[in-house]
Amino acid sequence: MLIPSQRQSYQDFQHVLDDLHKSIQKHELDKTEIQERFQAVKQLFQARILTLNPDEVNQEHVSAWQSRQTEIHRQMRLLETDMLMLQAARNSATVQSRVAIICDRLNTLIQYCSAMLQL
């Protein structure tokens, strides 16, 4: 079981991921707005998720927590790369392809947050 502060951190992270997901699915894609929202996600991740301590997790869930935490970190690094590629995309088909990849990655991250909240 997560302690309340950890639970709140994952809920907040899930919320900003959801906001970014909704922004990127808009019909009129604003790359500047998307980049700003991603920076907010990244800052929250670095300040509140990366700093979480496994010592505060119930011992029977530490292994699952560490595994999911590692995957969240990996997915965030990949999302950062995807965001850079979206910013560089000029062709409409490339932009749409990048948006689809980013949406999939955001869905994965949201699912990991949900899984963490189940601990």
Q: Taking 80 as the threshold, does the pLDDT of residue 27 lie above it?
A: no
Whole-number Å distance between alpha carbons of 117 and 6: 9
Instruction: Read off the pTM.
Output: 0.94
Cα 112 to the center of its chain, rounded Å:
9
Answer for the pair 117, 61: CB distance below 8 angstroms, yes or no: no
Whole-number Å distance between alpha carbons of 5 and 22: 26
Band of residue 78 on the pLDDT scale cut at 50, 70, 90: very high
Which residues have CB under 8 Å from 112's CB, separation 6+? 68, 71, 72, 75
Whole-number Å distance between alpha carbons of 60 and 115: 15
User: Tell me, what's the pLDDT at 15?
Assistant: 97
